[in-house]
Amino acid sequence: MKENTRSIVLMAEFFDPKINSTGLYWFKIAQSLSKKMNVYIISPNIDQKLNKIGCETVPISQSKSFFNFLVPNKFLITIKMLSALLKFKIKDIDFLVGTNPYTLPLAIPIIKLRFSGKVHLLTYDIFPQNLISQTNLLFKQPLYLLSFIYYFAYKQCDRIITVGRDMKKNLINLKYSQPNKIVYIPNWGELISNIGTMPSTDSKLKILFFGNLGRFQAIDEILKQINQVKREDVEFVFAGSGQKDYLIRKAKSKDSRITFLGKIPMSERDKIYKSTHISIVSVKYGMKGLCVPSKAYFSLINSHPILCFVEKESELDILCDDHKCGWIVDVKNNNSLDKILSQIDSEEYKEKYYNVSKIPEDLLNGTKSLDEINTVIV
């Protein structure tokens, strides 16, 4: 550890880029901050490479125990992380806390009582509002009660970093913090595939959905729209797994234009991007201002224009408007996708492809975002 240098504790569920995009982001943040600060990491998932660059890591056990039957897993992880933190003897130390697991922000009031440094919160999604937006009225009442507890936790933060302009606006409207304490710093992607020349669309337009097929990815809405598409020379390639993957299997049996590859290892993403043209990025209607799919940035940095199933004035709608790098599907109009695909010819695709290539590299590869995180924290 560096002498006479300020220290910071990073707390999040993933610090391993081999697991998911969140793990990649936190790994890169730790790597970047370690150049200027003493970095301590408390997490159940840590890439040991972080030890080699000088980070002090505190791994949290995820082994099953009797308490798993009494306490939900995410709460248990938070309790273990907080327990490890309270053993720290340094009092004047800063913090960067994540929203994964979703229970972790609840530790912030305790951190503020125990330590004298600044607490920064990096929000990838806003809980429990994300659940409230997708829950029926009967179950919303206890979630509203829970939101008051989160409101108190957010209020304790010295700074909140959001990954979407719509998220910043939402946090201000919720009065979770003062506007001058909320900073927008976008996500980024990782270059996986050097595609080189623009793929030809002469034989068939291939549209990729890669990643989690869960309840928040609007799988039902995507399939409804595909069902209305009249164009025949198009293939919808789904690669991933999750709660809604059974819907893809069912749709595949009825529509020859749908291909389902199942879960693909991270090491094979290169082949998927090279063999397709456009990426679907989606989030359930009602989630505007509550999260930003990181998949958009991975798609763009790997030369894929994006086909977005998102709401107007959401972060991805703004991104597409700023750079003309994709299309916005109206999720409330079942014929919206059909209309868009009927207009995508080789020239239209070529225009969007080159617009993607013109997006500043430092905006997509994380250089700019990491610099901004350093400016906010260091």
Q: What is the pLDDT of residues 273-308, one digit of tens each?
A: 989 999 999 999 999 999 999 999 999 999 999 999
Q: Half-sphere exposure of 214 toward its Cβ, with a 13 Å CA cutoff?
A: 6
pLDDT in tens, 82-114: 999 999 989 999 999 999 999 999 999 999 999
Lowest mean pLDDT segment, chosen from 162-171, 208-217, 267-276: 267-276
Confidence grade of residue 53 (pLDDT, cut at 50, 70, 90): very high
**Cβ neighbours of residue 87 under 8 Å, at least 6 residues apart?**
none
* pLDDT (0 to 100) of residue 154: 97
pLDDT of 194 above 70: no
How much is the average pLDDT of 190-215? Answer: 83
How much is the average pLDDT of 173-189? Answer: 96
How much is the average pLDDT of 167-188? Answer: 96
* pLDDT (0 to 100) of residue 295: 94
At residue 303, the 3 state secondary structure works out as coil
Cα 142 to the center of its chain, rounded Å: 26
pLDDT of 196 above 80: no
Residues 160/154, Cβ–Cβ less than 8 Å:
yes
* pLDDT (0 to 100) of residue 135: 74
pLDDT of 70 above 60: no
Residues 359/299, Cβ–Cβ less than 8 Å:
no
Rounded Cα–Cα distance for residues 60 and 80 (Å): 7
Burial of 311: CB neighbours in 10 Å, binned 0-12, 13-18, 19+: buried
* pLDDT (0 to 100) of residue 66: 52
pTM for this prediction: 0.92
If one compares 197 and 74, the residue with the highest pLDDT of the two is 74
pLDDT in tens, 119-139: 999 999 999 998 888 776 666
Domain 7-184 identical in fold to domain 205-362: yes
How much is the average pLDDT of 65-88? Answer: 80
Confidence grade of residue 43 (pLDDT, cut at 50, 70, 90): very high
* pLDDT (0 to 100) of residue 1: 65
pLDDT in tens, 207-258: 999 999 998 999 999 999 999 999 999 999 999 999 999 999 999 999 999 9
What residue spans define the domains of the chain?
A: 7-184, 205-362
Domain 205-362 = CATH 3.40.50.2000:
yes
Mind giving me the DSSP string for 254-290?
T-TTEEEEE---GGGHHHHHHT-SEEEEE--TT-TTT
Q: Which residues pair with 183 in a beta bridge?
A: 161
Average pLDDT over the chain reads 92
pLDDT of 14 above 90: yes
Confidence grade of residue 191 (pLDDT, cut at 50, 70, 90): confident
Strand 205-210 relative to strand 234-239: parallel, antiparallel, unpaired?
parallel
The CATH class of 7-184 is: alpha beta
pLDDT of 144 above 90: no
* pLDDT (0 to 100) of residue 287: 94
* pLDDT (0 to 100) of residue 200: 73
Q: Which residue has the tokens 């080159």?
A: 354
Strand 38-43 relative to strand 56-59: parallel, antiparallel, unpaired?
parallel
Task: Return the structure tokens found at 343.
Answer: 């207009």
pLDDT in tens, 300-313: 999 999 999 999 99
* pLDDT (0 to 100) of residue 155: 96
Residues 313/319, Cβ–Cβ less than 8 Å:
no
pLDDT in tens, 312-334: 999 999 999 999 999 999 989 99
Rounded Cα–Cα distance for residues 166 and 178 (Å): 16
